[in-house]
Each structure stands twice: as C-alpha cells, then as structure tokens.
Amino acid sequence: MRETGVLMPVFSLPSATGAGDLGKAAYRWVDLLAQSHVGIWQILPLNPVGYGNSPYQPYSSFAGDDLYISLDRLYELGLIRKLPRTFMEHSARIDYSQVRAFREPYLREAFANFREDEDYQTFVRQSWVYLYGVFRALKARNHNLCWNQWPDRDKNWPVSRKPLDEDIEKEAHYHMFLQYMFYIQWKALKTYANDKNIKIMGDIPFYVGIDSLDVWADRKSFLLDENGVPVFIAGVPPDYFSATGQRWGNPIYDWDYLKDHDYDFWIQRIGYNQKLFDIIRIDHFRAFDTYWKIPATCPTAMEGEWIEAPGYEVLDMIFKKIPDVYLVAEDLGMLRPQVHTLKNHYHLKGMKILVFALDASGKYARDIEAESENMILYTGTHDNDTIMEWYGKLTPASKRKIRRFLKSRNIKEGSIAQRLITYVLRSQTDIAVISMPDALALGKEGHINTPGTVGSPNWEWHMADFKKAQKQLFKLKHLIEENRQP
C-alpha cells in the first residue's frame, strides 16, 4: 500500500517558548498524524545549528540541538523548580537568539540539579560525546569563532588532549548533559510515534560544516591547509535557484584518505543516524556520483569543476556494515544519467517535486505518471516556493492551464492547493509527502528557506498553534482515505 507522509520541521511546531521542541506539542502532533492516517513524519536535520541557523551547517553530525529540549520534561524530572513562563508563544517567526537566551537559565538550572546514573554513563562513553562537549566549551571561550581561528592550544586539542582548565571541563560536561537530555527526549518521542505506526524520516546533509566537531576532530578527512582552512569548498554551479550558483562553504572530503580508512567517517554518521530515524534522506545525494569542487578563493560558485566521487565504494561499505539501513536519495536538479544509475543500483527511492515537475501544459506531470516506481512525490520541500506562492507567480493563462489540467484528471473540487494535494495523493508513487505549509495553503509566509541565501527569514517559520492544522489534517485524512491504493 502506498504511504503518505507530512514534512514538518520540529522547530516549526507550536510551542510555549518560541520554537518547537520535544514536549507536549510534539506528542500532540504525532497524535494528529496518526488520526489522519499519515504514516511518515519527515523532519529536517536535528543537529545544533551554526551559521545562519541552517540545519545544513551544523556543529556536529551526531549531536542534537538543545533548542529542542523540552523544559516541561525537565520540570517533570524535578530538574527545574518552576514551570517556565510562556515566551513568544504564538509567534509566527522564530527569533533564535531570543529563544536561546530565554531557555539558557532553565538548562543551566537543570544541569546543576542533575545526578549522573548508569544510563547517563553509558551514553557519554560514546566517543563523540565528550569531544562535542569540549568543542562547545572551547568555542564559547573563543567568542564563538570558527575553530580554525582559535589559538593553537585549542585548535589542536583533539591531537594533544592536554588537561583542560576546570571551567572548560565543567562547561564540557554541561554540553554532555544537554546531549543526554536531547537523546532521551527524542528517543521517547520516536518510540511514541512508532507505537502509533508512524515512521520518522530524518535528513542528513551530504557535507558537514567547517565549524563543526566533525572537521575539528577529524581534519584529515577533508581538504584543508595547514591552518585548517578549506582549500576547496562545496556548492553547485548556476541553476534554477541562483544565477551565480550556490557557494555553500562546506569543506570537500579527502576521498583518498576516507578510502584508506574504509569510509569509517560515513559508516559512523549513517550508523548513528539509524539509531535516531526509521528512514534517512541523504541531502544532495548526487555528490556520491559527481561533486562541484570550488576553489575556496572564488567568491561565487561559478568557477569550479565536476569531480567523480567513489559513490559505489562508499555505498557498498555502508550496506555491508549497516545492511538494514533505509536510505532515500535527494536526486533533484540537473543530473547526469549516472546519478540515477547509482541510485537504482541500490534500489533507493528518489524524489520529485510537484511545483518543478508540473508545468502549465502538464508535460512534466505526464512524466511523473509514467515514471512513478520507487519514487517519493512531494508537494514541495523546505527549499522551494509553497504551492500557493508558486501558483500566485503564474500568469493568468498558465493558471487556467493548470486548472484545466486538474480537471482533465477529474480533480475539480476544493482550493487550488487542495486540488494539487489531491493530485499528489492520487499518484502511483510509493510515497506521497505533503509539506505542512502546503497543507495549510500558506503563501510566502510559509516559505522555509531560499537556497543561496543566509540568515533571516530562512528557517524561521513557526506554526503559532494547532487550530488550522487540525482542520487541514482532518481534510487530509479524507483525501488519504479516498485515494488509498491496494
């Protein structure tokens, strides 16, 4: 039977403290999904965000952002004395700096009251946990500068492992505590969702951020100079999103070094994420085939070259070491045929986006209808216009063509957003995913991120409450029931 999913970032969930977390609202969200016969909840990366609050530039591939720790849950554990007051409760945007500043005293209080137990000791024995704590403590001491701008004693600590000052050691343990709280809260929520037959589709970036534990502690895996500065960086050449390309700034992997170490860096990343998610979507999957290599001195992504990657070797090793992992490939954009050959070799599901695949003539829609096997069809993702935003930009003639196209598919009732959602749900694809801003028929106000841009208003969309969402999910339930496939 075809599955239906909803794309909804955790940070966008309603919250009494300004940004979505793993508390009561998250459990209510799961209940709403279950009641609506939704079987997959797709989220964005949960890692601690760095530059521009982007979840695709995290401080670690393993750690979770303490933004998601439920203060209510800390109160229930007796770690904070009073329930937090409400803060920016019904805001339609997330102000990350204010929300973090509000939450910080509660997190510090919880740490002061926490007593380590055997479960905690087992968690922190993972190699990355203490390293992450030290990374964040040293980062704070160095005014949050990127690690390659720190003094040598801190920059090279992963090699020297010299004894730390008492205050740095204590700060490191504070961040270790936060990681434990995030982990137990996330695992509890995931178990709750799984018990209601809802799978969680997580998301990991292909690349890691330069300002991260991943690079600081394992710099030989990347093409860096002697000062830890990238020699080449990742991105994509000019495309639909940007006339000058996208210059992401992530360091490029040293694939020769990774090969000599059996691609352990990737095995560890995928293996840990498998503990957190039922399905793992790999963002920018095409870089397993070829990747755009930009000289770090270039101010844009226009200068660069496509380099072949050892995708088959990496994926062979992943499936050898983690045979039951469920991977999904983000295979969007202008791709050479070899990318699809690589994806199909491992029977990975790929992606289609309705607002890209459906032009006013319906030409590309027919391609979807003819090539639906092993595919996930989305109304939209975090990186493109919402349905209503896209539709609003069409000419009157193009809008008429879209309406005629839907009528030709016997989809005549409801708003244009609802009719296009119906089209997705009627498709023969293995999985149909509805973006929550599309389910809410939002326009520009529901746009999550614009590729190639940094900072506000990206990653700030916040659902003020569940009122409209509950009504729209109820409508979605009926559409799912009407379009169930045997």
User: Per residue in 142-183, pLDDT tens?
Assistant: 999 999 999 999 999 999 999 999 999 999 999 999 999 999
Which pLDDT does position 358 carry in this prediction? 77
- 283 part of the active site: yes
What confidence category does residue 271 fall into, taking pLDDT thresholds of 50, 70 and 90?
A: very high
Cβ atoms of residues 392 and 443 within 8 Å? yes
Report the mean per-residue pLDDT for the chain: 93
pLDDT digits (tens, 9 = 90+) for 116-139: 999 999 999 999 999 999 999 999
What confidence category does residue 385 fall into, taking pLDDT thresholds of 50, 70 and 90?
A: very high
Output phi, psi for 39, to 5 deg: -105, -10
Mean pLDDT of 226-243: 88
What confidence category does residue 445 fall into, taking pLDDT thresholds of 50, 70 and 90?
A: very high
Secondary structure of residue 58 in the 3-state scheme: strand
What confidence category does residue 359 fall into, taking pLDDT thresholds of 50, 70 and 90?
A: low
Q: Please determine, for residue 442, whether its predicted confidence score (pLDDT) is greater than 80.
A: yes
235: Cβ contacts below 8 Å, ≥ 6 apart: 245, 246, 247, 248, 249, 292, 294, 301, 304
Question: Of 367, 350, 377, 372, nearest to 434 (Cα)?
Answer: 377
Per-residue b/e over 83-102, b at no fewer than 16 CB within 10 Å?
ebeebbeebebbbbeebeeb
The C-alpha atoms of residue 60 and residue 151 are separated, in whole angstroms, by 21
Annotated catalytic residue, options 21, 211, 331, 383: 383
Tokens of 17: 């403290």
Q: Please determine, for residue 188, whether its predicted confidence score (pLDDT) is greater than 90.
A: yes
241: Cβ contacts below 8 Å, ≥ 6 apart: 383, 450, 451, 452
What confidence category does residue 439 fall into, taking pLDDT thresholds of 50, 70 and 90?
A: very high
The residue whose two tokens read 């000052």 is 165
Annotated catalytic residue, options 283, 289, 385, 460: 283
The C-alpha atoms of residue 482 and residue 425 are separated, in whole angstroms, by 9
Burial of residue 270, with CB atoms counted within 10 A of its CB: 0-12 exposed, 13-18 middle, 19 or more buried: buried
What percentage of the chain exceeds 70 in pLDDT?
96
- 383 part of the active site: yes
Name the pTM for this structure: 0.95
Annotated catalytic residue, options 330, 331, 389, 438: 330
Burial of residue 322, with CB atoms counted within 10 A of its CB: 0-12 exposed, 13-18 middle, 19 or more buried: middle
pLDDT digits (tens, 9 = 90+) for 29-74: 999 999 999 999 999 999 999 888 999 999 999 999 999 999 999 9
Q: Please determine, for residue 483, whether its predicted confidence score (pLDDT) is greater than 80.
A: no
Least confident of 94-108, 271-285, 371-385: 371-385
Which pLDDT does position 428 carry in this prediction? 85
- 330 part of the active site: yes
Tokens of 422: 């119906």
Which secondary-structure segment (H or E) carries 378?
strand 375-378
pLDDT digits (tens, 9 = 90+) for 279-332: 999 999 999 999 999 999 999 989 999 999 999 999 999 999 999 999 999 998
Torsion of CA 438, 442, 446, 450, to 10 degrees: 70
Mean pLDDT of 71-81: 97
What percentage of the chain exceeds 90 in pLDDT?
80
Q: Please determine, for residue 364, whether its predicted confidence score (pLDDT) is greater than 70.
A: no
Which pLDDT does position 79 carry in this prediction? 98
What confidence category does residue 454 fall into, taking pLDDT thresholds of 50, 70 and 90?
A: confident
Which pLDDT does position 365 carry in this prediction? 59
According to DSSP, residue 285 is labeled: G
Total residues belonging to the chain: 486
Which pLDDT does position 453 carry in this prediction? 86
